[in-house]
Chain A
Amino acid sequence: MADDSPASHRRDPIKSSVGNVAAQRRRQNAVTVGKERRESLVRAKRLCRVGPSADGEVPVEGNDMITDEEEFHLEAQTSSAVEDLKSAVAYQGKGAMQKRVNALRELRRLLSKSEFPPVEAALKAGAIPLLVQCLSFGSQDEQLLEAAWCLTNIAAGKPEETKALLPALPLLIAHLGEKSSLPVAEQCAWALGNVAGEGEELRNVLLSQGALPPLARMMLPNKGSTVRTAAWALSNLIKGPDPKAATELIRVDGVLDAILRHLRKSDEELATEVAWVVVYLSALSNFATGVLVKSDALHLLVERLATSNSLQLLIPVLRSLGNLVAGDSHTTSTILVPGHAITDGVIKVLVKCLKSEHRVLKKEASWVLSNIAAGSVEHKQLIYSSEAVPLLLHLLSTAPFDIRKEVAYVLGNLCVAPTGGDGMPNLIQEHLVSLVQRGCLSGFIDLVRSADVEAARLGLQFMELVDMGELTYAAHLFSLLLI
């Protein structure tokens, strides 16, 4: 970690001029906690309501499959820990703070051993009101951290368990404030992210309680695990279906700048979270789309697509690009103008995606191309003469169904100019003839044969174009295939 300008705020070890052993250990622990938080985030990639996935990259805890007896024991321990917390909270005398922290820590450990923590037992024993009390203003950071951590894991499971966090929400939101220490703010953001991930109803509660502005501000620093957690939580918070939150987010001072900065410079993990934020901004809010299109965003998205090989990053980046193209016809008509460098750049990275082995990339890249091909004649010519067409033709005959459908959209769009308005399509003969000659008809016929209504319609509509073009060769081939 190089020394940066004072604007950064990393969690470096605190060195004291006093050689105090206890302070030294405290320092080490402070760093460890900071790193621990980040490691935990990296490791805990499970959705509790789905069973243990086959995701090989995440280290599996040894005690994933616990026996009934062990489970019973764990539940008993949990209830007992909650009881301990109860008395600790009630106790007012000397050492009360330490007592509370110890009890919280005990509970937290029980709740963070595996991806399936004993949440039900904790809730039944009455953990929530106690945890809420431990979040009161002015509490020691350690207490806040442990309480927020417990709440995080309670919220990570079933819907009704997540909903149980309702009484804690205003306090969790408050502790996102600028005066809170980073680990506390991050842990609260994590808990709130879980709550937002539950569903629309809870999202609306969070929004009405003012969760968005403080979370948005946590995205502004240059780096750190806190920024990443906040971005993830935001992506959950704004995912709609109501577009209001997305519009509100892009309006927060400094957010656009931070998004662009992260897309430009940040490491892939952080950029991935931010890209998901952009996905929802561009899919839900016309206002946000407009703002993004006018900024450097397209260029930065193209850069990432060109340079990264991480599927986790490529998916939201590609989709953001797709949303920006689909959401506003201005994108294609004023920014992605044929002849501009940015346009060539876009085609190039879309071709890269078509060449990828990943199904999602091929499908969504085709979708984006189909929208660009829905632009002006110049756009169609640009795509037609690019590396894309041979790839598309190949995909049309070999790829899985959903990809073939998107490819069909591209090819068909290449053959039809923007209509004059009398309803009759305006054929681009050159493209149509060439594509047919290169053998695309059989692919379209396959689509007609498919069970999917939309695909069948596409196939038929294309046939009709061919027919209208009075392409003798094609007509013959066509009738041959019909027999």
Chain B
Amino acid sequence: MAMVVDCQHDLSFPYWTSTLRRFDPDSPFFSSGNIERELLAKQVALDLTEDERNQLEKMVDKDARGVFCPIVGCGARLISLEDFEDHYNARHTASCSVCSRVYPTSRLLSIHVSEVHDSFFQAKVARGYAMYECLVEGCGLKFKSYKGRQQHLVDKHKFPTSFEFFKKAHPSKKQRQKNHRKQAMHKKDEEASSKMEVENETMDGLVSAVSKLSTSDSSPSTVSFGRRHTRGLPFVPRSVQHEKRADSTPAGAKR
């Protein structure tokens, strides 16, 4: 064993220094601690076995007085199923009161309403203002055309070229007629004067309603323009078990 213990300290051999040692998360230093975690990098969502399902069903029959609304951050307390449906429709569906399209966030709904139902928006576009917002939260860029925004999503945010924010496919004529009838029936005049006339879905028909809309952010979680969304519970996750149920469409579940 060759030992170099030299009193004339060789510059290439440093002294002991007492310093902080930091490691990157993927450093081999941490690899033994990472082994189990690596196994969890991806996880399959498995179905329950028969036994587990049976066990679960035994746990389910618990008494509860009403229910708390399960939507994140809501916490409203509801007594009956109908109560819940009403609450849900009023508070949690970000649905367009004009064309009934539904969105998963208020922001996307707001963008939709501006771009599709607001002739003020269209007027500004016609004058060359950049009105089409990037859909990615936090990006902030705006574009002069739908196509321009689309290209940006593909180029900058790596969206697939097949992505379409606004799908022009309309509901069937029958469905549209049904929607209009429903809206006519359930109209509530909460706003003083303006009614949302929905004769057809063109820009012209909406000029009167424009004054209620703006291109600012503040508008539409006021989805409650007084319009009742179609009745029926769009959301209670129905059974994902393979039961043979004759009554697969419980009352009110239709859209």
Contacts and interface: CB of A to CB of B under 8 A. Distances in A.
Nearest to A217: B72
B102 A137 contact: yes
Interface string A198-230: 100000010011100110011011000010000
Interface stretch (B18-26, B121-129, B179-187, B191-199): B18-26
Interface stretch (A75-83, A340-348, A411-419, A433-441): A411-419
Interface stretch (B77-85, B141-149, B208-216): B77-85
A87 interface: no
A415 B62 CA distance: 63
A176 B95 CA distance: 16
24 contacts: A7-B75, A11-B70, A13-B60, A32-B53, A32-B60, A37-B45, A43-B46, A44-B43, A45-B40, A112-B47, A138-B100, A141-B235, A167-B163, A170-B160, A176-B104, A178-B105, A179-B94, A210-B135, A315-B37, A316-B37, A326-B20, A367-B21, A418-B18, A461-B16
A385 interface: no
Nearest to A113: B47
Contacts of B72: 9, 178, 182, 185, 217-218, 220-221, 226
A155 B42 contact: yes
A142 B234 CA distance: 9
A360 B17 contact: no
Contacts of B48: 36, 39-40, 43
Interface in A444-483: 448-449, 458, 460-465, 467, 482
Interface of B: 1, 3-5, 13-26, 29-30, 32-33, 36-49, 52-53, 56-57, 59-62, 64-77, 79-82, 84, 92-95, 100-109, 135-139, 153, 156-160, 162-163, 167, 172, 234-242, 245, 247-251, 255
Contact of B19 (A153, A226, A319, A374): A374
A20 B42 contact: no
A59 B250 CA distance: 35
The 9 closest A-B pairs by CB, nearest first: A177-B105, A6-B75, A177-B104, A210-B136, A138-B102, A197-B41, A16-B81, A22-B250, A29-B239
Contacts of A461: 14-16
B246 to A, nearest CB: 9
Given A9-B73, A40-B48, A209-B159, A30 B137 contact: no
A53 B245 CA distance: 38
A179 B43 contact: no
A349 B136 CA distance: 44
Nearest to B57: A32
B44 A360 contact: no
A174 interface: yes
